[in-house]
Structure 1
Amino acid sequence: MLFEGEGEGPLVLVSSATATPQGLYAGFARALVKAGARAVLTYDYRATGRSPRPAGWRGRINYKDWALHDFAAALAALEAVTPGHPVVGVGQSYGGHALGLSGAADRFARYAMVASMTAWFGFLDDRHAWARMNLVGVPASLLFRDTPRWLGIGEPIPGSCFRDWARWCRMRNYFFDDPDLPETARFEAVRLPILAIGLTDDRWATPRGIADFMARHPNAEVEERWISPQDGGGAAIGHLGFFRSRFATTLWPPLIRWLVAGERIGSSE
């Protein structure tokens, strides 16, 4: 969905987390426009949310397709709003992974990553994650075209994407160990400023996982910042909570200023 304003700030691409609909980011997008962003684009990855499969589609949908194709297509659509205008981006979890894989990092002035990490099971603080994904999730993904809601991962995603995700999580270096993903070499070319935001009550994007993922961007200017529930008034944040509207006046303003004006977000804990 495209949100347009009359400000002279940058265009902003918002890339979502896995199994998270673009609607979660609508309030944040409106806040960006109010703060002066020229336009903000949210979108759903293929075969999810408002981007359903075309009628009669039979091909396999790969988890990597979201980064290699959908991210790039969304960026091109946003750039077409005001050609030549500066572009910045923010990605949550998978939305942060997509930047390096896409090969389009040079088209952004800066990029924020919220809860983006190397998701190897050994880095997680969720001790039930391996069993839930491999003993329950993978079999379910073979029975159903899309993951059922009772699986508890969020909105339905293609079963093939879920299996790719589970496989990456079993790899010590996550998708960097996938021999069918040579695009990981593109991370060397990421040279823009990156703001990495971690949440202290997030059992998936732990300090270990975030530090490891940021190290995969050796030529980027990385600034890492940590936010606690106390910063948001005491409410739990977790892996996916940052963009919920209850944090509009507490957690969002520093990130919005960083995206729209390049203003430093402040000291880390």
Structure 2
Amino acid sequence: MTDERRDDTAEEHFRVRTSGDAELVVRLRRAEQPDAPAVLVLPAMGVQAKYYAPFARGLHRTGLHVAVADLRGQGESTPAAGRGIACGYRELVHDDLPAVVRAVSSAFPASPVILVGHSLGGQIALLSSATALTGVHAVVLTAAGSVWWRGFGPLRGLRNLVGSQLLAALATVFGYWPGTRFGFGGTQSTGVMRDWARQARTGHYTVRGSAIDYEAALARLTLPVLAVGVENDTLAPPGATDHLLRKVPAAQVSRWHYAEALAGGRPLDHFRWVRHSDGLSARIKEWITTVAPTRQENPVGD
């Protein structure tokens, strides 16, 4: 408890203003070495940044700078998702993530920045990186996969297809998705749910309001990518991750499976890995040291 309290007192908070007067809260932990790599953790749909505190502490103990940002409409970000709030993947990919990366890069000017995305956060990380909007050095996908229904097998896939389209339709009727009431996805804007459901139905990333060919951009991505599968994960099973990774054939992809044996026998699934992530944090740090140069060695945006 003492170590945890000491970690918490070292945590900084700041807000990043982005489009539409949105403000995203970023939680920051500084490593002892100023030029240590900086990881930016991006949450899953409906998950608050505060939930990742055990993961952030574990990454920080390995000697990394760590930042965790609430997605627009989630957690402490403003405005909260609700009726009349216009937001979709375009805002997350084009406006929010690049703004947060710039803020993290300013906080750690000597450090390479690596995105660590969980579930939807991983998809947003890939999309933004593929369109050259962030200038990051690498991407880690944790329990992340395409939501295309065919990646889940015939029975579960059909259920996911019907469910995703129904949720998007309900979001349209309600004017937002009240996920906290129904136990899935948290409260989300209609735009996010429609973009999510479109990808579930078609398998392609086609973002409303953007003319970018995301599939072509993903195919050109050459960054190092570490894809971590998690034991007992039914929301991002191997087939879903396979489909996502097939979109980035030019990337330098490494894959790793986080099993319960590596988590000290603790139970794992799509969400519980966060609570038992020390083994994963160590693996991510090991991988980062092999792929991420210092900012001086490989400057970004120059």
Q: Could you say whether these structures have the same fold, taking a TM-score greater than 0.5 normalized by the shorter chain as the test?
A: yes
Matched, 1:153 2:203: no
CA contact (8 A) 2:90 2:209 kept: no
Work out whether residues 84 and 175 of structure 2, in 8 Å CA contact, stay in contact via their aligned partners in 1.
no
Alignment equivalent of 2:241, drawn from 196, 210, 219? 210
CA contact (8 A) 1:118 1:174 kept: no
2:223 is equivalent to residue 195 of structure 1: no
Report SS of the residue matched to 2:228.
Answer: strand
Indicate the percent of aligned positions where both proteins have the same amino acid.
26
Note the aligned Cα RMSD (angstroms). 2.9
C-alpha separation in 1, matches of 2:63 and 2:148: 38
Report the Cα offset of residue 186 of structure 1. 2.2
Q: Is structure 2 residue 293 aligned with structure 1 residue 262?
A: no
The 3 A distance-change label for structure 1 pair 5 and 114 is same
Q: Among residues 188, 205, 211, which one is paired with 1:175 in the alignment?
A: 205
- 1:50 aligned partner: 76
Shift of 1:141: 5.1
Matched residue of 2:273: which SS? Answer: coil
Matched, 1:119 2:147: yes
Q: Is the Cα–Cα contact under 8 Å of residues 87 and 189 in structure 2 kept in the other structure? A: yes
**Across the two proteins, how many residue pairs are aligned to each other?**
258
Give 1:241's aligned residue.
272
Tell me, in whole angstroms, the C-alpha distance in 2 between the residues paired with 1:117 and 1:176: 16
Q: Which residue of structure 2 aligns with residue 109 of structure 1?
A: 137
- CA distance in 1 between counterparts of 2:150 and 2:81 reads 40
Three-state SS of the structure 2 residue aligned to 1:64 is: helix
From 55, 70, 79, the counterpart of 2:96? 70
1:140–1:96: structure 2 CA closer, same or farther, 3 Å change rule? closer
Indicate the residue corresponding to 2:108 in structure 1: 82
**1:63 touches 1:162 (CA, 8 Å); kept in 2?**
no
2:24 aligned with 1:9: no
Cα distance 1:89–1:63, how it changes in 2: closer, same or farther (>3 A)? closer
Paired AA for residue 136 in structure 2? F
* Cα displacement (A) at 1:56: 11
- Alpha-carbon offset, residue 257 of structure 1: 2.9
Q: Which residue of the partner structure matches residue 134 of structure 1?
A: 165
Identify which range, 123-132 or 207-216, moves more after superposition: 123-132
Contact 1:198 1:226 in 2 (8 A): yes
Question: Tell me, which stretches of 5 or more residues in structure 1 are unaligned?
Answer: 264-269
SS of aligned partner of 1:13: strand
For 1:17, the aligned partner's letter is A
What is the distance in 1 between the residues matched to 2:46 and 2:172? 14
Q: 1:118 to 1:78 in 2, by over 3 A?
A: same
Letter in structure 1 aligned against 2:280? L
Q: Are the counterparts in 1 of residues 73 and 81 from structure 2 also a CA contact under 8 Å?
A: no
Contact 1:44 1:51 survives alignment (8 Å): yes
- What amino acid sits opposite 2:212 in the alignment? P
Give the direction of change, closer, same or farther, for the CA distance of 1:56–1:237 in structure 2 (3 Å limit). closer
CA deviation profile, 1:160-185 (whole Å, cap 9, x unmatched): 312321222111x2325979552413
Residues 62 and 282, structure 2, Cα contact 8 Å, conserved in 1: no
Structure 1 position 19 matched with structure 2 position 46: yes
d(CA) in 2 for partners of 1:133, 1:236: 27
TM-score, structure 2 length as denominator? Answer: 0.74
Q: Is the 8 A contact 1:137 1:151 kept in 2?
A: no
Give per-residue Cα distances to partners, 1:170-208, cap 9 Å, x unaligned.
11x232597955241322342121111112422232222
Paired with 2:175 and 2:115, the residues of 1 have a C-alpha distance of 33
Q: Is the 8 A contact 2:263 2:277 kept in 1?
A: no
| Counterpart secondary structure, 1:243 | helix
User: Which amino acid counterpart does residue 197 of structure 1 have in structure 2?
Assistant: V
